[in-house]
Amino acid sequence: MNHTPARQPCTSPRLRPIITAAEIERRVAELGGQICNDYAGCDDLVIIAVMRGAIFFLVDLLRQLDRPLRLDIVHAASYRGAATTGSVQMLQPVTIDIRGSDVLVIDDILDTGLTLRRVLDHLAACRPRTLRTCVLLSKNVPRQAEVTADYIGFEIADQFVVGYGLDYNDRYRHLPYIAAVETDDAG
């Protein structure tokens, strides 16, 4: 008698594109210009990316910055599926010395503020000279933690989104655009 469980059918959520690849490309170039202007006199810029969602945004934004910089990543996690767990785990802290440096944190999305607040508190303890933030998306929702982004790519409505690095259960990061996920559990 075979006790192997039956395979469940693979169902995909419905995706509704809300920001095109061309719009992302234009806005990332604009952000790059702003950042270059704002850090024109800076001789020790450190970019800290919050992984994994920021990876596409990070790479494209770095290509717009025509200056020497140092790069590191932190890995923080607070989502399971389409819902926040309510707590943030710092899976990989900063590994380079940022004391006295100008630090720009790159993240994919600002929604509850919990992840970015946890990362900023971690980095502030390392005593950088300045600490600013750049997010691809800022969700128009009340924040659970007090945090604002210095640079924002796009403001979006309260919807769960994927693509351009953002995922739904580790899927859809590869999409070159941003799409809203339309499922029963995506909120």
Active site residues: 111
Residue 117's nearest CA partner among 84, 156, 80 is 84
- What is the three-class DSSP state of 36? helix
Residues 108/54, Cβ–Cβ less than 8 Å: yes
Q: How far, CA to CA in Å, does 77 sit from each of 52, 54, 132, 147? A: 9, 12, 20, 17
72 Cα distance to chain centroid: 14
Residue 46 burial class via C-beta count within 10 angstroms: exposed 0-12, middle 13-18, buried 19 and up? buried
